Amino acid sequence: MSGVVRSLSRCLLPAEASRDPGNSKESSREARRKSREIDAMLARERRAVRRLVKILLLGAGESGKSTFLKQMRIINGQEFDKKALLDFRDTIYENILKGMRVLVDARDKLGLSWQSGENEKQGMLVMSWEGRVGVSGVEPGEFQLYVMALSALWADSGIQEAYTRRSEFQLSESVKYFLDNLDRIGQLSYIPSKQDILFARKATKGIVEHDFVIKKIPFKMVDVGGQRSQRQKWFQCFDGITSILFMVSSSEYDQVLMEDRRTNRLVESMNIFETIVNNKLFLNVSIILFLNKTDLLVDKIRTVNICKNFPEFRGDPRRLEDVQAFLVQSFSRKRRNRSKPLFHHFTTAIDTEISALSFMPSRTPSCRKTSKTSCCSDLGDARWHPPHPPPTVL
């Protein structure tokens, strides 16, 4: 290393200093000073790398990885700048228009009638919208043209009925939230709130890294796309990771994949988990299961019996604890080596209140000594302070 430092020092010296013999004493003092500076800098970097907690977010598409990352940014007080806010706004407009197009199309295909005949025209107007090729997001002037139609359509019982049958087609879950808030979002001066940002949906393409410092611990979170076409990029991020947060959308037990419109989403998620958890590369990496979208799961069990898709389920299908226990067991069984603890956590990534408590780690020397049944997630030396109830070891 000192050789590298010496040659770096040489490079940093002014060219004339090394040529002029009269300056040789002066220049060698300067070289030593620079060398010390570089040594100190490298030592600082080495310490930072050793301390760095590198967390990889994995899971199927739409499980909530990017939402979790946004949540971390919000919790850590990292504001979104003006440009980011305007990008979210345009994404939200696009989410709404695309979502309503899906609903209008589904109403037609499911043979549901309009409540008001007038809405046929409004439906045609929304169907005439086409995203510009290669441009993501919609601008406010363009969105204004559709606000009245969107509002009338969302109030129509035909569209509402199509919405209740959404598991039969592909509809982003956040559409309801945005349409319920159309009066606010439809204002020309609209700027997204933090809650809106958490609901904005844009599939991740590629690899997105984000750095945080939480209680003096440097964290690097790596977010990847979870859709099938994106997964071949995952291996590029496997180097030097401390922990994997495996996200699962726990409410999707009755839904099929966007990618092939056949495979059950939960089955796909379990298959991905099986590949990750049994991979030799991750022998010394802690894997934490995040059973996300608890808010949607609470609603889902009221109307959809999990036994329809998972006949092996035992328990009360309307009881949240029974369904969650079944999900945890199903993922746990995918592990070939059960001696290593696997922690799980029930989350709602769009819920700022709960997440603020549950995702806040701190560094404690006692963490590694904590028993398997504790709340310690073995996140490097970091510890999750759990919400109620605490995460449990499988």
Ligand X SMILES: Nc1nc2c(ncn2[C@@H]2O[C@H](COP(=O)(O)OP(=O)(O)OP(=O)(O)O)[C@@H](O)[C@H]2O)c(=O)[nH]1
| Contacted by 341, from Mg ion, ligand X, none: CB < 5 to 8 Å by type | none
Min separation Cβ 51 and Mg ion, Å: 27
How far from each other are the two terminal CA atoms of the chain, in whole angstroms? 44
- Applying CB under 6 A, which of residues 89, 98, 293, 344 lies at the interface with ligand X? 293
Query: How far is residue 281's CA from residue 260's CA, in Å, rounded to a whole number?
Result: 29
The answer on whether 198 is annotated among ligand-binding residues is: yes
| Contacted by 62, from ligand X, Mg ion, none: CB < 5 to 8 Å by type | ligand X
Q: Does 198 bind ligand X (CB under 6 A)?
A: yes
Handedness of CA 57, 246, 374, 338 (dihedral sign): negative
Long-range (24+ apart) CB contacts under 8 A made by 108-114 are 109/169, 110/161, 110/162, 110/165, 110/168, 112/158, 112/161, 112/162, 113/158, 114/156, 114/158
Q: Does 348 bind ligand X (CB under 6 A)?
A: yes
Find the binding residues for ligand X in span 37-66 (CB under 6 A). Answer: 59, 61-66
Query: How far is residue 312's CA from residue 160's CA, in Å, rounded to a whole number?
Result: 32
Q: Are 96 and 182 in contact (CB under 8 A)?
A: yes
The angle that helices 157-164 and 82-109 make with each other, rounded to 10 degrees, is 100
Q: Are 256 and 264 in contact (CB under 8 A)?
A: yes
Min separation Cβ 354 and ligand X, Å: 9
Q: Does 378 bind ligand X (CB under 6 A)?
A: no
- Say whether 67 is catalytic: yes
- Say whether 227 is catalytic: yes
Other beta carbons less than 10 A from residue 16's beta carbon: 9
Of 196, 248, 232, the residue nearest 88 (C-alpha)? 196
Per DSSP, what are the bridge partners of residue 208? 223
- Say whether 268 is catalytic: no
Min separation Cβ 182 and ligand X, Å: 16
| Contacted by 71, from Mg ion, ligand X, none: CB < 5 to 8 Å by type | none
> Which residue among the candidates 90, 223, 252, 268 is catalytic per the annotation?
223
Nearer to ligand X, 17 or 270 (CB): 270
The answer on whether 265 is annotated among ligand-binding residues is: no
Q: Are 170 and 29 in contact (CB under 8 A)?
A: no
> Which residue's CB atom is positioned nearest to ligand X?
226
Q: Does 63 bind Mg ion (CB under 5 A)?
A: no
| Contacted by 173, from Mg ion, ligand X, none: CB < 5 to 8 Å by type | ligand X
Contact residues: ligand X, CB under 6 A: 59, 61-67, 172-174, 198-199, 201, 203-204, 225-227, 247, 292-293, 295-296, 348-350
Provide the annotated active-site residues.
62, 67, 201, 223, 227
